[in-house]
Each structure stands twice: as structure tokens, then as C-alpha cells.
Structure 1
């Protein structure tokens, strides 16, 4: 009887045999990859419309004498580039741009790392101090520039008011070509110091305490721990900070406009502020485009060099 029941069960039309895993067809990887590739299309379109096309159009304009408003433009070849490389003011502007970029990068990373190490320790009011350091980041760079302009300006500036109270002559800091570039660099550093601090804090908190405990047992000093543990493991954070600071500093604009407007003369001009004045004040869009291409090359060369160098240090660490 049992054998008959088994046979009846196996021959029942309502029961289907279980399919083996071998009979199930795997999903085609090529088909799945084809659908994933469509996700790149919106990004490519946006980059083409807002980045690639404006860049190529700027290169084209740099070979013309377009004034920025006329419907027509004349092809003048390399005249704008010859004018740019033979103008002695160009090299002063490039030097100022490098000071803004490299100077801000060194100061922001050095001071930001010190703040991060200090505020990574257990201490009173640590959260409040972090907030205070980060607060300037949320202020518009133009507003920040005007705040410091009212501090440093010659007539009625709060710093000069304090100086005169002690019987000293007021100082024309923003009108001094040897000082104003460094004041602008200081203001840019002060405002974006919080970003570097936050990135370094994240890097420090990602380092296991076991390394420091083992180093302490081996008799390593605080400096040796920083040099051989903290610094190598912070290189990814250093890479991010350095590249971001370089790009932002080399294209600095708002703070310069607010504090000195590039003056006196060309003393504190950067490539970005000079482009702005050429286009809107002097209606010389062709020459402004040539300066823009020079700024693009400087930013790409310096930032890529720093990125490649620091990436190699990450691998070595």
C-alpha cells in the first residue's frame, strides 16, 4: 500500500517537480551592464552643457577681440596671448594668485591640523569650540571680506581707532602693496579653517587607539607617535584638504573684491579679479578669456601635481 501511495503521489498532475539550480538561467551580465551605462548619460549631458561647452567656447573667444556684448567678433589669432605674456603686470597677478592659493593652503592645513589634534582630546567646551572655529565657513566670502575691510580700512577702521588711542599713527594696511596680499590670504585662511579642521578630525577619529597604546608601551614620545602613526595615517585627509584649499585659493575672488578691489593698481589683483574687471569694466572679453585659460592651466597643473604626489604617499604609508 505504501508503494502504491508513493507512485500515485509522484504521478499526480498537481505536483510539479522542483527545478534544479542548474536549470535556472543566470542573469546576463552584459544586459545588466547595458542598463547601468545609461546612468552616465545625464551626467555626460550636464557636464557637456555646463562645463565642456563653456570651456571650449572660452578657448575660442580668447582668439578674438570680442568685447563681451557685440554680436560679432573678429579673429585675431594669438594676439591676446602675446599681449598676456609680454605684459609685466601679468606676472605680478600670477604671483598674487599663487600666494593666495599656496599661502592659504599651507596656513589652513597647518592651523587646521593643530586645532583638530587639540579638539580631538577630552576637554571642556570641546563641542562649543569646534562650532566657533567652524562658524566663519557659513558666512558669505563677500560679507567676510567687508567685515575685515571695516577692521583694516585707513579712515574709520576699528584697528586704526585702537592704534590712535595709544598715540600711534594710523596704518594704511590695505593700501600697502607689501601687506594687503597677505591680509587677504589671512582672511581667506580664517574663514575656511573650519573645513580643514573637520576633515582632520574625521581622519583622527578613524585611527585606532591600539596603535598609540602599543607605541606608549614601547616608550615612544608624543612627537614620535605623531610622526610615525598620526601623520602617515592622516595622508588621505591631507590629500583632500590640500587639493580643495589649492583650488579654492587659486580662484579667490570675493574677499579680494571686498577688501581692496584688486588695488592699489595691480598690487592685490588675482587672475579671477582681473578677468572680472577686463570683461565688465573694460569690455575686453577676448583678453579676459585668455587670462581664464591661463588660470585654468595653473589650477590643473598645481592641483594634479599635489594630488598625484600625495596619492603616492598614501600607498607608501
Structure 2
């Protein structure tokens, strides 16, 4: 014996399953359209980032010269050769110097400028624009300008030294001096990025925090160390990672100012890759250098992010 159907059940059976609401259908259709709009960016990323990276990994296991169709597989020989190469070890130290040195300088200068320019005064906007302006200039132009300033015979700095009775200095012929100069030039060009990041962080800090600290008798330095620095942790993370990546892959300024010389003494890994690939016609070996540089940048970036995130969580 079957149970009698209710009127509601009869109506439901007659009309079939209830149609999805119009708003839900629109959301589903809109989500599909948004995903479709991502496609060009994904394709560009695959073509210009993923494919070159995978190709570089493949080339690093060959002795390809960069031109011929012959690509003999040599397994890990290129990587083993790297760690036995005195030139590569020197260049790797230079690269760490450019990356870490430039990053430290840019953080110190950028934070100092941000604190100074966060206070209202006449001409503040113009000062911010002037400091940020070098970021918009090509590194080649910036490097050429400083190369002319540091030239041995006609450089402005040597003219000043001679004016005060000193002897001309071969600024760019000494490895230590040249590496330091390149580091400073790179820092001065991109310090505007750090300044803007720190300015944004400073302006996000509520003024009530400083007012409460002043009521408690905290001085300027105490307010800076107890309020400003802890609350700038996200800005520190962003600025340090961006500056470090830029410093580790430094290329243009070195190429213009010293060409990597004298010898190979001021090269970074990026400039040495160009020399190895195009001048020495050793594309496989150059690819191995590129992969090592990629791994180094990835390790530094992940480690810094983990460290800064942990410190931020501890302070919360």
C-alpha cells in the first residue's frame, strides 16, 4: 500500500526541480568570464617566464654553444665546473656584495628620507618627486652619468681632488673602490622606491598611538623604536625583498661603468652570464650560472619573508 501524496509533493513532481536563482547563475557566468580574462596574463607568464626557465634548466645540462643544433648532454658537469671556477666564486661574492650592500644602504637612506618627508613643510611634494625621479631614469643613463663623474682624466671628482692639491684617483680601476661605487650608484638610483614604501607605512600608523605615547612621557627616539619600527614590519618585508632581488641581478650599471673589469673583478653573475654566453659561446655553462642565480634569489626571498613574517607574528 502506497502512501498518499501531499499537494506540495504533487506540485513539485509536476514542475520538476527548482531552477537556480538568477543571481546565482549570473555569479557563475561572471566568474567564468573573469577566469577567461586571466588567460592572456597566464599565457604571457608561461611564454616569457616558465618556458625560458625550463629551457634554461635543460640547456644547463648540455655543452651547447648557443648557435649550433648540437647539444651534447653533459649531466651535472656544468654545475661541478661552477664550484671549481675561481672567477665564478669571485663574481658570486661581488653579487652578494651588490645585493646585500645595496639593500642595506637603500633601507637606511629610504627610511631616513621617509621619516624626514613625512612631516609637513613647504616644498615637501617637490622633494619627494626629486628623490623618486632617478627611479624613472634608465640605469644605463644613470651609469653613464656616474661614469663621466668618476673618469680618471676628465671626471669631475678627480678635478675636485686636483683642485685641492691631490693626485688623480683611478676610481674604477680598483676592484674594491669600483664595487663600492657601483653599489652606491645603484642605491642612490632606487632609494626612492624604499622611501615611497616607508612613507606609505608611516601614513598608515594612527597618530593616536604617538599622542598616547607622548602623554606617557615617551621621547622621539622611544616613539620611533616602540611604535614606528614595529608597525613598519610589512613595509620592511616589501622593501627588502624588492631591493635584494634588484641588487642580486644587477647588470646595467656594471656594464656601463666598468664593463665587469678590470678583468672579471667587478662582474656580477648577471654580467658574467652575458660574457659566457655571447663572448665565450658557452650557452650551457651560462645557463647553469643563471639557474644558480635563480636558486640564490629564491632562497634569499623565501628566507627573508619567513623571518619577517615570524617577527611580525611575535610582535602581535
Fold in common (TM above 0.5): yes
2:299 alignment partner in structure 1 = 301
Q: Which has the larger radius of gyration?
A: 1
Alignment equivalent of 1:190, drawn from 171, 188, 191: 188
Q: CA deviation at 1:40?
A: 4.3
Kindly report which structure 2 residues correspond to 1:152-167, keeping only aligned pairs within 5 A, or say none.
152-167=150-165
Kindly report which structure 2 residues correspond to 1:148-227, keeping only aligned pairs within 5 A, or say none.
148-227=146-225
Kindly report which structure 2 residues correspond to 1:29-178, keeping only aligned pairs within 5 A, or say none.
36-178=34-176
TM-score (norm 2): 0.89
Alignment equivalent of 2:24, drawn from 7, 24, 27: 27
Distance 2:147 2:98 in 1: 17
Instruction: Extract unaligned runs of 5+ from structure 2.
Output: 1-17
1:241 alignment partner in structure 2 = 239
Distance 2:284 2:173 in 1: 30
Distance 1:309 1:38 in 2: 37
| DSSP-derived class of the 1:102 partner | helix
Given the superposition, is the C-alpha separation of residues 119 and 59 from structure 1 closer, same or farther in structure 2, using an over 3 Å criterion? same
Alignment equivalent of 2:271, drawn from 270, 273, 277: 273
| DSSP-derived class of the 1:179 partner | helix
| DSSP-derived class of the 1:72 partner | coil
Q: CA deviation at 1:316?
A: 3.1
Q: Aligned pair count?
A: 296
Q: Deviations over 1:281-310 (max 9, x none)?
A: 111111110100110011000011111211
TM-score (norm 1): 0.88
Q: Deviations over 1:128-177 (max 9, x none)?
A: 21122111111100110010011112121111111112221101111111
Q: Deviations over 1:30-58 (max 9, x none)?
A: 77655554454433322221111110110
Q: CA deviation at 1:312?
A: 2.3
Given the superposition, is the C-alpha separation of residues 123 and 293 from structure 1 closer, same or farther in structure 2, using an over 3 Å criterion? same
CA RMSD of aligned residues (A): 1.9
Distance 1:146 1:35 in 2: 48
Instruction: Extract unaligned runs of 5+ from structure 1.
Output: 1-21
Distance 2:19 2:161 in 1: 89
Q: Deviations over 1:249-282 (max 9, x none)?
A: 1000000001111111121110000001111111
Q: CA deviation at 1:121?
A: 0.8
Distance 1:271 1:139 in 2: 23
Distance 1:313 1:42 in 2: 38
Q: CA deviation at 1:71?
A: 2.3
